[in-house]
Structure 1
Amino acid sequence: MKAKDDLSGHLLAGGLDGRHVPVAVIGGGQAGLAASYCLSAAKVEHVVLERHRIGFEWSERRWDSFSLVTPNYQCLLPGHEYAAGDPDGFMVRDEIVDYLRDYRHRFDPPLHEGVDVTRLGHDGHRFTLTTNRGRFFASQVVVATGAYHRPRIPRFAERLPGSIIQIHSADYKNPRQLPEGATLVVGTGQSGAQIAEDLHLAGRTVHLATGNAPRVARFYRGRDCMTWLDEIGHYTKGITEFADQEATRHKVNHYVTGRDGGRDLDLRAFARDGMHLYGRLADITGPVAHFADDLRSNLDGADAVMEGIKDLIDAHIEREHLDQPTEERYTPVWEPGHHVPTQVDLTRSGITSVIWCTGFDADYRWVDLPVFDGRGYPAHHRGVTSRPGLYVLGLPWQWTWGSGRFRGVGEDARYLTEQIVRATQSTRRVA
């Protein structure tokens, strides 16, 4: 479907300047598009503002071999469920970008690309949005920018010798962009484990500083583990069902990969095959990296989580009397020695580059409204903040595990649309 000339594409100069819109959606990623689809279905007039272009985060901040870790059939954007030929496969980076751009063309959202909202405030009567294309107003606002804004790099990175190239995972593309020599990868969340594997498969020498991220098996007893968890109901559990909601909301994701049809990521196997593993990177003094003495506990902890998930699957199979093949449990293929190095001279070890796979910080400094907790994170219930008319969408564990993913963002968008319609009707009754 062809986009409307006055609502999509790049914003014409002054196109929104001075205008008032009923609803402004900030962010044109999967969350913003899902919100727009639901608002359009409810016949709510709105605009969607995207700083860059559709698919930018996926195309520019993911590496070349990147793929989803959730099966394709779990891509459930409203009105755009995955319908291609490989439901149990894993879309690669360019396919994800195409999936989002196809979504945009399917329902023709009122999208303005290239619009950077630099301040969101309230004048006592309505929300004010200051942008690079002018200032305008809205009765209600959905902030759909996610929570991964600013690459997080520890301050001691400043002490690395200038001869060592440093990049964040957001800027990593492929092994060819790095200088000759070994690479230190810091962090073993999804990005760290997958990038370490990418370098390892390319024949590069990899040193890996581990963390306490858990892992999950790709397949168990004949099915993908994420399919099992979906069937068990794990993905539909609301955040309020967990005893420690804040810890749940901010915990690190399990590492696994969808690459080449999907497989486990086993750090022990990497070490067996020549990768150098250490504990958590604690400090840097000149060319010397200092590691915590926790490699064994990091590996054991990740394996314990994986086996615990298998316990859940076993219990589900038994409870439902399912006829599934049995499978032997994991046996460690490598164990750390008694003297794992806690100090490594990077220069002498031939390390010429460091990749910081240390996550992202949320950056809402442009939102000039008192709706944040002590860490600068939006305080909300199911995306509804304490400021009437202000909502957030696309956050990790906003309501369920899938909230920040293609799996569950649509349900959150539908819920917020109901709140927006209800608020609009209430305002009309008062008027």
Structure 2
Amino acid sequence: MSQNRHLPVVVVGGGQAGLAMSHQLRARGIGHVVFEKNRVAHTWRTQRWDSFCLVTPNWQCQLPGFAYDGPEPHGFMGREAIVAYIEAYASRIEAPLRAGVGVEAVRPRPDGGFQVATGEGGYTADAVVLAISGYHVPAIPGMAAGLPPDVQQIHSSAYRNPAQMRAGAVLVVGSGQSGCQIAEDLHLAGRRVHLVTGSAPRCPRVYRGRDAVDWLAEMGQYDLPVERHPLKGDVRRKANHYLTGRDGGRDIDLRRFAREGMRLHGRLIHVDGTRVAFADDLEKNLDNADAVYTGIQGAIDTHIAKAGITAPEQAHYRPLWRPGPPETTLDLAEAEIGSVVWATGFRADFSFVEADVLDPRGLPVHERGVTPLAGLYVVGLPWLHTWGSGRFSGIARDTAHLADHIAAQGQALAARGQALPMAS
């Protein structure tokens, strides 16, 4: 393709958010190209473990124009099925996808629009949509450097299965969704596991006869705009609730794991060779997670009562196990820990956007995906607009809103798009 060719809209990222954006733009006659530096569903393919599955039911897979219609709406797709779903979507909508072409820089032009540098040359564009999520660089704390070289260290994004880990026990740092599910995966395989807990909350899988996600959706929780959330924009910093869709779906109860032999610890605060130190907050972490769990149960009870719904009675969760005196230090050698999994999240990297639109955490400043820079948009971030924004369930609404906003830039944009050929 020629240098500095003009495109009405450039979509950066060919995952579910970028593809959904493509569908909405096509529906409005707006020309565009989707640049994906790897291939469709790359992150799902390469950064998920073998037993990974969705934690939300399949029926919530509501990509625009391609809702899940398989035989298990209340099941939970595994990694390969998720990849197949996204691939099928890209094919169905005939996305103008340029796979293997990365966007290296996005620069605003003085006269409006953008200069877009890619691996295959430069382009200009009237609008750019950043659809690359916010999980780019594994966030491993600096204290990891203090571990001895003979201890295997991997980030959760590189974890695949228990056989990958060295002999001995495994220390999993982080009790969010990934950390808890990886700890469970190791535990079920018979590995000795130490889990470092944090502030992540938990959610029931099934309560009073239905999946909690079904209840929460019926209650409008996934449609709650961020500005109406009690925490407002701060909710974007909160960890997701931990539970699992594995084996048909179930709770993750760290107290039960502890009863079965898993060692739980408070927050990791220091590493010095084989000696590690923990905060004295294990009991608080467990209690806070359970308080969210029972709070969800209580909210569902209230909804059932107000709506006059007939549902089976079910007692609220009661703790199965209480920690003893806090264990604030541990010698990895004495505990025979040969591996550490850092389930400590990611940092965003939007550094290729050469404009003053990033907040202190490196994420684009926006209002419902519309940044302060005219023509620059972002989609696919958690709580972009609602709780559903970072999930398959909310992407249709978010991309429709942005496509309408782009269309409002003028009829000329849509007219130019009619003649834009599909990418091969």
Give the TM-score category using the shorter length: over 0.9
| Gap regions ≥5 residues in structure 2 | 416-424
Tell me the residue number matched to 2:33.
Answer: 47
The match for 2:360 is: 374
How far is the alpha carbon of 1:154 from its aligned partner?
0.3
Q: How many angstroms apart in 2 are the aligned matches of 1:144 and 1:77? A: 14
Identity of aligned residues (%): 50
AA aligned opposite 1:154: P
CA shift in 2, pair 1:272/1:404, >3 Å: same
The correspondence of residues 118-197 of structure 1 with structure 2, limited to 5 A, is: 118-125=104-111, 126-197=113-184
2:251 paired with 1:276: no
Partner of 1:327: 314
Matched, 1:241 2:232: no
Which residue of 299, 317, 322 maps to 1:312? 299
Q: Among residues 204, 228, 238, which one is paired with 2:215 in the alignment? A: 228
User: 1:95 deviation in Å?
Assistant: 0.2
Q: Deviations over 1:325-345 (max 9, x none)?
A: 0012212111100x2210000
Q: Report deviation, 1:316.
A: 0.4
Q: How many residues align?
A: 414
Measured in 2, the distance between the counterparts of 1:47 and 1:150 equals 25
**In the alignment, which residue of structure 2 is the partner of 1:106?**
92
Give how far 1:283 is off: 1.1
Any stretches of 5+ residues in structure 1 without a counterpart?
A: 1-14
Q: CA deviation at 1:131?
A: 1.4
Q: CA deviation at 1:397?
A: 0.2
Q: Is the 8 A contact 2:29 2:414 kept in 1?
A: no
Cα distance per residue 1:225-259 (max 9 Å; x no partner): 01100000001111110243222112100000000
Given candidates 47, 54, 58, the residue that maps to 1:72 is 58
Q: 1:81 aligns with which of 43, 67, 73?
A: 67
1:28 & 1:16 partners in 2: Cα distance?
Answer: 22
How many angstroms does 1:58 deviate by? 0.3
1:331-379 Cα deviation digits (max 9, x unpaired)? 2111100x22100000111000000000011111111011112332211
1:302 is matched with which residue?
289
1:5 matched residue in structure 2: none
- Partner residue in 2 for 1:10: none
Q: Distance in 1 between matches of 2:410 and 2:12?
A: 19
RMSD value, Cα: 1.2
Q: Choose 291-300 or 374-383, whichever is displaced more.
A: 374-383
| Alignment correspondent of 2:336 | 350
Scaled by the length of structure 2, the TM-score of the pair is 0.96
Residue 20 of structure 1 aligns with which residue?
6
User: CA-to-partner distance for each residue in 1:273-329, whole Å, 9 max, x for gaps?
Assistant: 000000001110111111000000000000000000011100000001111000122
Normalization by structure 1: what TM-score? 0.94
Aligned position for 1:96: 82
Structure 1 runs, 4 residues or longer, greater than 6 Å off: 426-429
SS of 2:410 mapped into structure 1: helix
Q: Flag the 1:321–1:62 CA change in 2: closer, same or farther, 3 A.
A: same
Where does residue 35 of structure 1 map in the other structure?
A: 21
Which range is displaced more, 366-375 or 232-241?
A: 366-375
